[in-house]
Amino acid sequence: MKKVRLTISIILVAPVFLVLALIAMALGGLLHLIHLERASEKTVHFILDILIVWICICFGIRLHVEGKENIPRWGERVCYVPNHQSLMDIPILYGSGMWCGLVAKKELFSIPILHGLLRVLKCVPIDRSSLRESLKSIIEGADRIKSGYPMGIFPEGTRSKTGEIAEMKAGAFKMATKANAKIVPVAMKNTRCAFESADSLRPVNVYVRIMKPIDTAELDEEGIKDVHAVVESEIREAFAELPGPYGRA
């Protein structure tokens, strides 16, 4: 049943992804070339919003989002910090209204089409096998935050294979602290049930809770040192409170 569900969903999503990704890259790139940066961003986000709705339909996702009022205004220094369970986490993050560049593993940037899409979304590649290269990526991400473009990072470093939250690495928070950004903790639940752990054709309720920002510019040295533990605790607590695998109808 899992193979049937995923095969049908991928067949339906793939051609739409290809067409809309190419349109987003072309229009976004053109507007960027003529220095209409905000128009470029809005156009890309509008087109990809359509794609995300289609992904949710094809994979049977019912998206429930709490805390949209906690999303800072565009142009503020912002770093979104969600837990990481699934390949679905990125479209769910964007579908919840948190448009941002992401720090993503470098291998994704070698995939045709996806490479261009990640670039137009201002994502930053990271080589986790090299501490030096990882630091460069964190600094690049911090510079983008300082310029007013929000960024996001999955502090667990990789997807959870069990559905539980893994330890969050303190180093992942340096992008936010170096930029004196607002950290927005985000708890996402059941995204694995829509893809990696899909076991039936029934709809899947995916839950997102966006928590109040933590302004690192207002933290003292001790607060900066402990911010990763505070954020991890908030995400774990919210994750435990969100409904289980299928939740409410």
d(CA 169, CA 146): 22
pLDDT single digits (tens) 15-48: 999 999 999 999 999 999 999 999 999 999 999 9
Does residue 230 form part of some domain?
A: yes
* Residue 249 confidence (pLDDT): 47
* Residue 246 confidence (pLDDT): 55
d(CA 124, CA 158): 15
240: number of Cβ within 10 Å: 10
Which domain range does residue 161 map to? 63-241
* Residue 7 confidence (pLDDT): 87
d(CA 166, CA 158): 9
Does residue 235 form part of some domain?
A: yes
* Residue 218 confidence (pLDDT): 95
Does residue 203 form part of some domain?
A: yes
Q: Are 93 and 235 in contact (CB under 8 A)?
A: no
Which regions of the chain are under pLDDT 50?
A: 249
The model carries a pTM of 0.93
* Residue 80 confidence (pLDDT): 98
Does residue 21 form part of some domain?
A: no
* Residue 178 confidence (pLDDT): 96
* Residue 248 confidence (pLDDT): 54
Does residue 120 form part of some domain?
A: yes
Residue given tokens 């992804």 in the structure block: 17
SS (H, E, C) 121-163: CCCEEECCCCHHHHHHHHHHHHHHHHCCCCEECCCCCCCCCCC
Q: Which of 60, 49, 48, 53 is nearest to 8 (CA)?
A: 60
* Residue 245 confidence (pLDDT): 66
- Indicate the number of domains in the chain: 1
Does residue 32 form part of some domain?
A: no
pLDDT single digits (tens) 189-221: 999 988 888 777 788 999 999 999 999 999 999
Identify the CATH number of the domain in which residue 217 sits. 3.40.1130.10
Does residue 2 form part of some domain?
A: no
